[in-house]
Amino acid sequence: MRMKKFSFYNPSSLPEVWELLERYGERAKLIAGGTDLVVQMKSKLVSPEVVINLLPLRELQGMEIRDGHLRIGALVTHAALANSPLLRENWAILAEGAHKIGSPQIRNIGTIGGNLVNASPAADTAPALLALEGKVVLASKRGERQIPVNSFFLGPGMTILEKDEVLKEILIPVPPAGAQGTFLKLGRRKSLDLAVVSAAVMLHYDPLTKYCNWARIALGAVAPTPIRAQETEKFLVGKILQEEVMHEAGERAQQECQPISDLRASANYRREMVKVLVQRAIKKSLKLPIPPTGI
């Protein structure tokens, strides 16, 4: 499908981006990899008069450890995340989530910032960032503000990002020493599919007794936004992570989600799969074998 004509800008700095956003307002859209925006433009879901390219901006690039946090620029691609030795040290579940996105071509051009700003309830990087307690840094002429990823999403396609702001980077703290986690995604196919359900789990536990000291559980595609299963997390803390505890955790996580029925799955199926994925993700985090699961 042909797109409506638009003007294309290549700013070289964030101040230039802010000036363009101030000048064109709602007539402008930001683009990085374009894997979501171009599809929306071709489908006539959006028809911006102006498209502002973020790819030249050095401020939005790179990964590094800074002040006890992992800093990820908003322009870092999914492929860079999936293949990063740095992420494999303490933040492997984010690398796992990025690896599940689309195809190699999509992962090579799609960015983590775009995946978050698109605000799909099924975004593959979001559950991992929720479980890792990440924050987004939003920048404008007024300054910068840090927002927990848990508070960033408002609904499908909606975030707290203001019209004059740019998602600059993501900050993720170092998990507790020895914490283990995993990301599981269930789709209708083995690749190139949106999640029907996804689950990210981080656990800190005694390797001998399996006593759980700390837990984070996040779910995707089962509510208007990606969510933390905080009541299930509280249930796990102080428990010995044995079979009946994992089973009850899965059942409790079911009660915290609000799935819908759509073309990909029914609400009842999604709710049942939440139970299955949470149980299996806990087991995998404990380094126990699980059946082949999802994508």
For 60-118, write each residue's pLDDT tens digit. 999 999 988 999 999 999 999 999 999 998 999 999 999 999 999 999 999 999 999 99
CATH architecture of the domain 7-53 equals: 2-Layer Sandwich (3.30)
pLDDT, average across residues 264-274: 96
Beta bridge partners of 171: 71, 135
In this prediction, residue 295 carries a pLDDT of 72
Which residue has tokens 């796992």?
Answer: 96
As a whole number of angstroms, the distance between CA 72 and CA 266 comes to 35
In this prediction, residue 193 carries a pLDDT of 83
Q: How much is the pTM? A: 0.95
As a whole number of angstroms, the distance between CA 50 and CA 121 comes to 27
As a whole number of angstroms, the distance between CA 75 and CA 95 comes to 15
Which is it for strands 143-148 and 135-140: parallel, antiparallel or unpaired?
antiparallel
In this prediction, residue 188 carries a pLDDT of 85
CATH value of 184-285 in 3.30.450.30, 3.40.50.300, 3.30.365.10, 3.30.390.50: 3.30.390.50
Given a cut of 80, whether residue 39 has pLDDT beyond it is yes
pLDDT, average across residues 13-39: 95
Please enumerate in sequence order all residues whose Cβ is within 8 A of that of 119, keeping only pairs 6 or more positions apart, or say none: 153, 154, 155, 156, 157, 158, 159, 225
In order, the DSSP letters of 29-94 are: EEESS-TTHHHHHHTTS---SEEEE-TT-GGG--EEEETTEEEEETT-BHHHHHT-HHHHHH-HHH
User: Which three-class secondary structure state does DSSP give residue 186?
Assistant: strand
CB 281 within 8 A of CB 200: yes
As a whole number of angstroms, the distance between CA 153 and CA 126 comes to 10
Is residue 110 classed exposed, middle or buried when 0-12, 13-18 and 19+ CB atoms within 10 A define those classes? Answer: buried
Q: Which tens digits make up the pLDDT trace of 141-166?
A: 999 999 999 999 999 999 999 999 99
Q: Please name which of 220, 32, 173, 42 lies closest in space to residue 114, comparing C-alpha atoms.
A: 32
Q: State the chain's mean pLDDT as an integer.
A: 95
* pLDDT band of 1, cuts 50, 70, 90: low
Which residue has tokens 């009850």?
Answer: 248
As a whole number of angstroms, the distance between CA 109 and CA 247 comes to 39
pLDDT, average across residues 223-233: 98
The full set of domain ranges for the chain reads 7-53, 58-173, 184-285
* Residue 191 DSSP label: S
As a whole number of angstroms, the distance between CA 181 and CA 236 comes to 14
pLDDT, average across residues 192-216: 95
pLDDT, average across residues 222-251: 98
May I ask the CATH class of domain 58-173?
alpha beta
